[in-house]
Structure 1
Amino acid sequence: MLTHFQFKTLKDNWISKKWKISFFHRGKYCAAIYTQDGTIDWQNEPVEDDVEQVEMQVHDLMLYHIYEDHNPTQM
């Protein structure tokens, strides 16, 4: 389980988008750069056995926070 998930936009243009992400997993601080194609460039990688599972959770969180519309326009 990821806790204290945070993201910050580093680059946002028509060509590419990048975010700095950070969180804690099993008490270990993890940080990475997340790109619009879903690539995760780890700076502080999670426990080796859990990397695949953590990456799936990161993708889900990024879809939720970045790509879903949480403020639909009301008519």
Structure 2
Amino acid sequence: MIQHFQFKNMYENKQLPGWTFSFYFSGTKYTGTYHKDGRIEWTGPNPPADKEEILKKQLHELMLFHVYE
């Protein structure tokens, strides 16, 4: 489960899409960029291959809730 999820706009003009995010999963901090097309670019360590799809799904849900509410 994702813990301590945070995100912020990449640009000062908040009308432009693009966000940075961070969260903890299993004691490891993950960071990345969430692009307007839903693409996720990891900027820190990549999650384990067997957990990456689950984390991406949870991240999409969180971004939809917080950004596109």
Aligned residues between the structures: 66
Counterpart secondary structure, 1:32: strand
Partner of 2:53: 52
Shift of 1:23: 0.2
CA root-mean-square deviation: 1.1
TM-score with structure 1 length normalisation? Answer: 0.81
* Structure 2 spans left out of the alignment, 5+ residues: none
Amino acid across the alignment from 1:57: Q
1:27-38 pair list within 5 angstroms: 27-38=27-38
Partner of 1:17: 17
Q: Deviations over 1:24-57 (max 9, x none)?
A: 0111110000011100000122222100000000
Measure, in 2, the Cα distance between the counterparts of 1:46 and 1:20. Answer: 16
Partner of 2:64: 63
Identity level (%): 39
Amino acid across the alignment from 2:65: Y
Partner of 2:39: 39
